[in-house]
Chain A
Amino acid sequence: MQHTRSLAALAAATALVATGCSGGAEDDPNTLTLWMSTQESNQADAMNALIDAFEDANPGVTVELEQRAVDQHKEAMRQVAGTDSGPDLYWYWEGPGLGGELVDAGMSLDLTEYYGQYGWEDRFLPAALSNVTQYGGFHGVPWTVQGEAVYYNKALFEQAGITALPTTYDELTAAAAALAAQGITPIEFGGTVNWDAMRLLDSLVETECGAAVADELNTGDGDWGAEPCVTAAFTEFKTWGDAYFNDGYMGISADDAAQLFFTGEAAMSLEGTWYAAQATANGMDPEDVGVFLFPTGTGRMYGFGEGFYINAMSPRADKAAEFLDFITSEAGLAIAGANWGVMPVNRNVPVDDTNPLNAAWSDLFAATDGMYVNNDQNFSTAATTEYWRIQNSVLTGDIDPADAGAEFQTFRDAQG
């Protein structure tokens, strides 16, 4: 008898496991699930503090945060598309190749109704808002707006006799040449992560092609093989790699390369708003560091945004919108602080200027004329992989700069 009962219990347990019944949050109207990529510890702490504050203000409501590594996060989102096993809310990059792909797949709820209800259109910075309106309607709420620009070591610039910040591309290359002549590494990159050197290539495409053609190439149907400016960009890119990058850049990571800037061995670093805190944390006096926009000549800032989206399949969209309203409010962003970036997306929240570099970023954002986005956010992931292969092959000399654009276009054509 006991044996029979054990077998029955085992069978029941097996059946539960097999059917995936975990008694989780999916049926609980007061539990919101939130999926994010794995956050840095300071960000995770801040997110938990935001969740605690929201739960305190909404007794009975629980927010369950699930974090996954970047690739796993992307993969998980694909797996749950169109099913009711996804989260109520998800964090994602806003570019067409990433967040846009999920919008196309119908995962993101159009939040037009909530933008009206909560007055969010008046809340967010225009640059941040443009990232959620690019697909029509309102997809997601902005969480960060990240700019990327050239950080420079003031002492090394002075040592090389550079008295004025470069405002044109020619002045930038002249500055790099002056630094190299002094035996100083002009700029650092880490080649094992492809996106680091990609920042320079993206900026050179913007510089050589201008905003309209660059947009057509990056987000439209522009022909990479037919535009002479693409060859010019790859040619300049190769020159930078040969003459101005740190030695052995291709074999080290971005983190290792950044140490060259932090220790005063490299004069420049093409990095984002988050780098201000990193430079300070790595022992640099922010007064010794400056930042200027890559002089593309278009007046646009390089950067991207990240946002929170409500899953179109969520039965708790109202509650999810309440959560988003809270975390992007002045009270919410006071808790979030500068853990995700320098520029608060809420226009009523002042920039935290305890780090002088943050104030410099604020000025850059005020003066910018729109944004051009990192191409690993513009392209599909497959196109990004090919873009990086061609970019690195140009640097290693395996692809001639004159052939690079045509080779990338061949791939795009094959993709259809």
Chain B
Amino acid sequence: MATAPARPARRRTAPAHRRLATALPYLVPALVLYGWFLAYPMADAVRLSFFEWSGFRTEQPAWVGLDNYVRLFTQDAVFWTALRNSVIWVGLSLLVPTAIGLLLALGLNRRIAGRNLMRAVFYIPAVFASITVAAMWRWIYNPTLGFVNQALDAVGLGSWAQSWLGDPEFALGSIFAASVWQGVGFSMVLFLAGLQTVPAELMEAARIDGANTWQRFRNVTLPCLRPTTVVVVVLAIINALKVFDLVVGMTGGGPAQSTQVLALWSYTQSFTNHEFGMGGAVATVLLIVTLALVIPYMAWSMKEDR
């Protein structure tokens, strides 16, 4: 008669408060740094938004309550432009580089000649500093000597030549094109990593069941890429809302503040205009917009995962 194998002894886990006490000494240094360099400045920016202060140490910040917000919403013409541009940037960032990154990843996940070289080529712009990318694209868009207008001239489309960064109608889109060039490689790499987690047996089963390419992508690949997509989308939103250096390097927010974005306007108000209260108010709005977009999306995606 066979005897049942002895059950392994169940490991006892310490109560949660004991585990926290054990972990705390290891967490404290990181928490202190996080608190000092991240949480405190954020809280201080919010606090400052209720004061008027020119940045002089000799001048005490004056409590003005909600005045900065009232000024921001009713008198600051640039704020609404910056908010609109930031929202447009988020929308475009969710669509364009994400979609292109996914398509590139799907294409370069196949066994094709020169695959690794092409992966590297598409990823390289992502390692450049944004200010370098800005300098390169400023030249590309130069109205007289730049590649874009010269190429249009060369193919007989000279009438399409523009002052790409000097015309408010085109400037934001022109900066965004540079951003796509820089950012698409990063999304591609994330999706490529995600594609390696798609089980081959699932794809095989779908193929045997007669699913076509689109059906396999829609019903197998895409669901398996859900965790990657969450990361890509969250990063796209955050990066879009904090876009700063590309705009500074290419237009400085111009012409006539038409490419201004919230992060740059907050900086400009604080460190150029020396209106730290207004700068803090813009930063607070940016914080609220970021949290309003990221938290519901993450909550929704975690709920779906459960």
**Which residues of A are at the interface with B, using a C-beta cutoff of 8 A?**
71, 74-75, 78-83, 105-106, 191-194, 247-252, 256, 380-382, 385, 389-390, 392-393, 395-396, 398, 410-411, 414
Contact = CB atoms under 8 A, between A and B. Distances in A.
B59 interface: yes
Interface stretch (B21-29, B136-144, B298-306): B136-144
Interface string B248-271: 000110111110000000001101
A390 B257 CA distance: 9
Interface residues of B, number: 35
Nearest to A410: B75
B144 A381 contact: no
A80 to B, nearest CB: 7
A248 B167 CA distance: 8
B54 interface: yes
Interface in B38-84: 54-59, 71, 75, 77-78
Nearest to A414: B75
B271 A75 contact: yes
Contacts of B144: 247-248
A284 B271 CA distance: 38
B196 interface: no
B123 interface: no
B68 to A, nearest CB: 12
Nearest to B252: A192
B274 interface: yes
B80 to A, nearest CB: 13
Given A192-B251, A398-B256, A81 B57 contact: yes
B143 A248 contact: yes
A248 B166 contact: yes
B219 interface: no
Given A248-B143, A389-B78, A396-B167, A191 B55 contact: no
A286 B173 CA distance: 42
5 contacts: A78-B274, A105-B59, A247-B143, A250-B163, A382-B273
Contacts of B258: 396, 398
Contact of A105 (B56, B77, B275): B56
Per CB-CB distance, the 5 closest pairs between chain A and chain B, nearest first, are A248-B143, A251-B166, A250-B166, A82-B58, A392-B256
Given A191-B166, A191-B254, A83 B272 contact: no
A256 B138 CA distance: 11
Contacts of A82: 56-58
B168 interface: yes
Contacts of A80: 57
Q: With a 10 A CB-CB cut-off, give which of A71, A75, A247, A396 has the most chain B CB atoms.
A: A396
Given A256-B142, A389-B256, A398-B168, A382 B251 contact: no
A251 B164 contact: yes
Contact of B55 (A79, A252, A393, A410): A79
Given A78-B274, A382-B275, A410-B75, 19 more contacts: A78-B56, A79-B55, A79-B57, A191-B166, A191-B254, A247-B144, A247-B163, A250-B166, A250-B254, A251-B141, A251-B163, A251-B165, A252-B166, A382-B273, A389-B77, A389-B78, A411-B75, A414-B71, A414-B75
A250 B58 contact: no
Contact of B255 (A81, A83, A105, A250): A250
Contacts of B275: 382
A197 to B, nearest CB: 10
B70 to A, nearest CB: 11
A240 to B, nearest CB: 16
A102 to B, nearest CB: 9
A410 B57 CA distance: 29
A314 B114 CA distance: 66
A392 B255 contact: yes
Contacts of A106: 58
A393 B258 CA distance: 9
Given A192-B251, A250-B255, A392-B256, A381 B272 contact: yes
Interface string B229-259: 0000000000000000000000110111110
A396 B255 contact: yes
Contacts of A250: 163, 165-167, 254-255
A382 B277 CA distance: 13
A292 B54 CA distance: 40
Given A191-B254, A385-B272, A248 B57 contact: no
A410 B144 CA distance: 38
Contacts of A193: 252
Contact of A393 (B54, B56, B256): B256
Interface in B128-147: 141-144
Nearest to B162: A248
Contacts of A392: 254-257
Nearest to A390: B256
B254 A105 contact: no
Interface in B185-222: none
A194 B258 CA distance: 13
Contacts of B168: 396, 398
